[in-house]
Structure 1
Amino acid sequence: MAPKVLISDKLSPAAVQIFKDRGIDVDFQPDVGKDKDKLAEIIGNYDGLAIRSATRATEKIIAAATKLKVIGRAGIGTDNIDKDAASKKGIIVMNTPFGNMITTAEHAIAMMFAVARQIPEASASTHAGKWEKSKFMGVELTGKTLGVIGAGNIGGIVCDRARGLKMKVVAYDPFLGEEKAKKMGVEKVELDALLTRADFITLHVPFTDQTANILSAEAIAKMKPGVRIINCARGGLVDEEALADALKSGHVAGAAFDVFSQEPATQNPLFNLPNVVCTPHLGAATSEAQENVALQVAEQMSDYLLTGAVSNALNMPSVTAEEAIVMGPWLKLSGHLGAFIGQMTDEPIKAINILYDGSVAEMNLSALNCGVVAGIMKKANPDVNMVSAPVIAQERGISISTTNQSKSGVFDGYIKVTVVTDKRERSVAGTVFSDGKPRFIQIKGIQIDAEVGAHMLYTTNEDVPGIIGALGQTMGENGVNIANFTLGRAVAQGEAIALLYVDDQVPAPVIKKLEATGMFTQVKPLMFDVA
């Protein structure tokens, strides 16, 4: 029986035809995604669900999807998919991370021109029969400084286009190395420097805990008077109330927004303010981009449903079914090792060195490499997957090297990951025990034996009495339950580490209390996807 796919959003007719040509039974209902009750009622009939942004694949929808094997998102953003619920149910979530980069970058450039020359207001005025030539005095882009927050795929294209416009480009991106920045022809700066120097600021980062309100009231206050702000990335990156106040005061001369904290945006503090250009999330809305992502998602879903091949999956590695049986636990370990390093590293990474020892050295190292790199990059980009992570790393000038060797220790096999920055090298190693559970076995060269938990706390300190007591007492007094507690040290009275597996995320006030004891050189909460 042929697999059955529901297309619940508006997708290119060419994508529908791809499914049909591949022998897939396709049901094209482009408006059903807006009706969550109807979608929940019918979703149990389908093996695949192809969507754009209108459909919300919530936990309720996924619970009703009794046959669903794959959700394909035509585009990069997957905020409208409950990936945890999908993973727990064994449903693969795919996206098309590279299909609309140029389109989104071009929209940001177009918005920058529009706000620089007040084109929408001037157009409306002229259509109204007015001739207010002196009212709409604009500014040139040539010679101005553009601050780019996020110099990845889309941000990198914006940098290139801006340099073509003879703008000076400064970029803030924790994962952008100096060498890569030089090749791009941009100056790498810290965020505060960007805020104080830029005439225009454009955002090209995902929405994460780290980037939420990255342009806060405090950040806006640091900007030079007359700055103009463009956001074609994600809503929630800018404090819209604070920006509205700055626009009214004249500190910010203009803004151009394609995305908003609440969408659809029928009301917003930025609406109806002078020299504010707003568009309804049109970043990827060109015929070329819509066609590209639609065709890609149709091909990817068809490949998986017909052959089991997986590509651009956010919650499953790109390996064959035979490999997955043996490699599954090692793939989880590779991601955990990468996630540990990624969460511990704030400065730009120059190189990632991965050592495979013993039995694991005979496996699909390409897939394991992707797992490590994806784990590292997820801190900066939660939407990264095992296919896109190496490409992003390459674009950012990060070198990746692999070494495999015969069994050299007590473990049948292990993986060691080392990252190199301008300031330091940092390493972590792990193995998989006979029970199939990944373990951390070495951090910074210090031997440990720690189970991987969803929420963990890592500390470093001098090897002196009282550390265990300080940790235990502080955690206990603040209601944080410790599931597992692992200690390690290099030498007596030297550097020591502790890795705690806790039931819930350690609250920020508890972190501050530990730091205030003066006993720790580092206190770092960590999170791992152990689903």
Structure 2
Amino acid sequence: MAPKVLVSDKLSETAVQIFRDRGIDVDFEPNLGKDKDALLAKIKDYDGLAIRSATKVTEKLLAAADNLKVVARAGIGVDNVDIPAASKKGVIVMNTPFGNMITTAEHAIAMMFAVARQIPEASASTHAGKWEKSKFMGVELTSKVLGVIGAGNIGGIVCDRANGLHMRVIAYDPFLSEERADKLGVTKVELDELLAKSDFITLHVPLTDKTRNILSKENIAKTKKGVRIINCARGGLVDEAALAEAIKSGHVAGAAFDVFEVEPATDSPLFNLPNVVCTPHLGASTTEAQENVALQVAEQMSDYLLTGAVANALNMPSVTAEEAKVMGPWIKLAEHLGAFVGQLTDEPVKAINILYDGCAAEMNLDALNCATVAGIMKPANPDVNMVSAPIIAEERGIKISRTTQHKQGVFDGYIKLTVKTDSRERSIAGTVFSDGKPRFIQIKGITIDAEIGQHMLYTTNRDVPGIIGALGGILGENGVNIANFTLGRTESTRDAIALLYLDEPIPEAVQEKLRATGLFQQVRPLEFEVA
């Protein structure tokens, strides 16, 4: 059955056609997002939800979304999506951060020109029939110092454009490497130095606890007298009241704001101040950007629903289409390793360590980690998946660590999972053979070579005669067919294990007959999702 997607906000017809061309069953209802009750009644039927800003994806909506796997926002901001609730529900949240990068960067440059040359006020004066040429004395951008707070995707484009204007660009960004700074043609500085040296300051960071009011009253006071401040990123990055006072005092020469702490902004301390340019969040408002983000959201959602590729996700590691093809068997292996341990562990897990060897160590380890943790937790919580598992693990205080190493042993790569509880430590390792099928290669330090089937039986015992006969005899007598039989043992401790791949689940009564022999320390049925 084809995946079903609901488009509940205005999206271009071209984007909607992409869903259809990819074989997605899509319903285009661009006004539905404004009617939360109607959306609530309808959402249960859909695998994907494509939105803009009108639709509010709340915890209540997510609770009603029985089949929902992905929510994708055409744009950068996801303030209208309850991401923690989506993560707990196992729903991937995507955005399209690259579709409007150029548009937003160009708007910042345009706002910088506008405040440098007082263009809006001069335009209004001229429209009023005045000719106040001497009133609007501006400043050049050439040779001025531009301080860029946040040199990521959009900030990087602003740096490039500013270099083209022959400005001297300095940047503050804790994640900016010297190599990246050299490539951008900027000088990396600390925030205080940027505040003290900049003639213009432009912000290009997300709103987080660390960036909120990054231009606070105290930091605005550290700026160079006559500075002009541009914010086309997020409201809340600048203390608007403090900035208004600095403009009134003459310390700040002007400001250009496209975003505000409260939006829609019907009132702000910045309104009606001289040389303050304000626009109603137009950063992404160009025909090209609106089309780009719509097309991106359709492609991203289609890729995920059809191939498992994850792009621009905010609550799960991204996995490219190429990675999805190569990693598919390894992700399945990681889930199987976790499921094995999860089905055998009857007490709370305290710590998880995942060792990646050889070629496995070169893959997308974040995605493999998520798959492993999901496998561990799924036996106790069938609704858990790669999105929700890390959240649940964190809530339970489970410590998750990973280790990588160069190829060791006969396999090109393998994954080894070790889980600790208060009373014991359990480990299992596996690899993917050339046929693309995951295999278990070690349990409890005992080397094996076990094909993984949907229905399996795991036993542990002392290495004594009669084990194979007991297993084969009791299962045969009770009509349980063995598809594959794997044995392993240690020479030193005389411990042995058996892993049987069965054609059907083993009945409880048959398990009891095996236990009644007294030969087995453990008799545990296992189930794996192998389709």
TM-score past 0.5 threshold: yes
Match of 2:166 in 1: 166
Q: Post-superposition shift, 1:31?
A: 2.5
What amino acid maps onto 1:84 in structure 2?
P
Match of 1:363 in 2: 360
Q: Post-superposition shift, 1:358?
A: 5.6
Q: Post-superposition shift, 1:99?
A: 1.6
Match of 1:391 in 2: none
- Taking the aligned partners of 1:329 and 1:261, their CA distance within structure 2 comes to 47
Q: Any unmatched runs of 5+ in structure 1? A: 332-355, 373-384, 386-401, 415-430, 440-531
- Cα 1:371/1:76, change in 2 over 3 Å: farther
- Taking the aligned partners of 1:371 and 1:308, their CA distance within structure 2 comes to 13
Q: Cα deviation per residue 1:182-233 (whole Å; 9 max; x = unaligned)?
A: 2322111110010011010000111111111000000000111111000111
- Cα 1:32/1:47, change in 2 over 3 Å: same
Match of 1:306 in 2: 306
Q: Which has the larger radius of gyration?
A: 2
Given that residues 201 and 227 in structure 1 are in contact (C-alpha distance below 8 angstroms), is that contact kept between their aligned partners in structure 2?
A: yes
Instruction: State the Cα RMSD in Å.
Output: 2.8
- Taking the aligned partners of 2:190 and 2:316, their CA distance within structure 1 comes to 35
Residue 433 (structure 1) aligned with residue 419 (structure 2)? yes
Match of 2:13 in 1: 13
Given that residues 115 and 228 in structure 2 are in contact (C-alpha distance below 8 angstroms), is that contact kept between their aligned partners in structure 1?
A: yes
Please show how residues 298-447 of structure 1 align to structure 2 within 5 Å: 298-317=298-317, 318=319, 319=324, 322-327=329-334, 360-363=357-360, 365-368=362-365, 404-406=406-408, 432-433=418-419
What amino acid maps onto 1:45 in structure 2?
D
Match of 2:436 in 1: none
Q: Cα deviation per residue 1:422-455 (whole Å; 9 max; x = unaligned)?
A: xxxxxxxxx74277xxx9xxxxxxxxxxxxxxxx
Given that residues 52 and 74 in structure 1 are in contact (C-alpha distance below 8 angstroms), is that contact kept between their aligned partners in structure 2?
A: yes
Q: Cα deviation per residue 1:246-293 (whole Å; 9 max; x = unaligned)?
A: 111111111111111111212222122221111111111111111111
- Cα 1:248/1:31, change in 2 over 3 Å: farther
Q: Post-superposition shift, 1:329?
A: 10
- Taking the aligned partners of 1:167 and 1:36, their CA distance within structure 2 comes to 48
Q: Cα deviation per residue 1:135-177 (whole Å; 9 max; x = unaligned)?
A: 2111111111100001111111111110111111111111112
What amino acid maps onto 2:208 in structure 1?
T
What amino acid maps onto 2:363 in structure 1?
S
Q: Any unmatched runs of 5+ in structure 2? A: 339-352, 370-386, 388-403, 426-531
**Matched residue of 2:99: which SS?**
coil
Please show how residues 33-432 of structure 1 align to structure 2 within 5 Å: 33-317=33-317, 318=319, 319=324, 322-327=329-334, 360-363=357-360, 365-368=362-365, 404-406=406-408, 432=418
**Matched residue of 1:363: which SS?**
helix
**Matched residue of 2:120: which SS?**
helix
**Matched residue of 2:121: which SS?**
helix
- Taking the aligned partners of 2:288 and 2:74, their CA distance within structure 1 comes to 13
**Matched residue of 1:116: which SS?**
helix
- Taking the aligned partners of 2:3 and 2:117, their CA distance within structure 1 comes to 52
**Matched residue of 2:146: which SS?**
strand
- Cα 1:173/1:196, change in 2 over 3 Å: same
Q: Post-superposition shift, 1:304?
A: 2.3
What amino acid maps onto 1:404 in structure 2?
H
- Taking the aligned partners of 1:248 and 1:107, their CA distance within structure 2 comes to 25
- Taking the aligned partners of 1:173 and 1:404, their CA distance within structure 2 comes to 34
- Taking the aligned partners of 2:356 and 2:110, their CA distance within structure 1 comes to 53
**Matched residue of 1:303: which SS?**
helix
- Taking the aligned partners of 2:367 and 2:147, their CA distance within structure 1 comes to 31
What amino acid maps onto 1:209 in structure 2?
D
- Taking the aligned partners of 2:336 and 2:80, their CA distance within structure 1 comes to 28
Given that residues 115 and 255 in structure 2 are in contact (C-alpha distance below 8 angstroms), is that contact kept between their aligned partners in structure 1?
A: yes
- Cα 1:93/1:197, change in 2 over 3 Å: same
**Matched residue of 1:114: which SS?**
helix
Given that residues 354 and 418 in structure 2 are in contact (C-alpha distance below 8 angstroms), is that contact kept between their aligned partners in structure 1?
A: no
- Cα 1:211/1:330, change in 2 over 3 Å: farther
Identity %: 72
Given that residues 92 and 315 in structure 1 are in contact (C-alpha distance below 8 angstroms), is that contact kept between their aligned partners in structure 2?
A: yes
- Taking the aligned partners of 1:149 and 1:51, their CA distance within structure 2 comes to 29
- Cα 1:307/1:177, change in 2 over 3 Å: closer
What amino acid maps onto 1:259 in structure 2?
V
- Taking the aligned partners of 2:172 and 2:190, their CA distance within structure 1 comes to 6
Q: Post-superposition shift, 1:40?
A: 2.1
State the TM-score, normalized to the length of structure 1: 0.64
Q: Cα deviation per residue 1:92-120 (whole Å; 9 max; x = unaligned)?
A: 21222222211111111001001111111
- Taking the aligned partners of 1:198 and 1:308, their CA distance within structure 2 comes to 46
**Matched residue of 1:42: which SS?**
helix
What amino acid maps onto 2:110 in structure 1?
A
Residue 3 (structure 1) aligned with residue 9 (structure 2)? no
- Cα 1:97/1:432, change in 2 over 3 Å: farther
- Cα 1:316/1:215, change in 2 over 3 Å: same
Q: Post-superposition shift, 1:357?
A: 9.0
Match of 1:489 in 2: none
- Cα 1:45/1:222, change in 2 over 3 Å: same
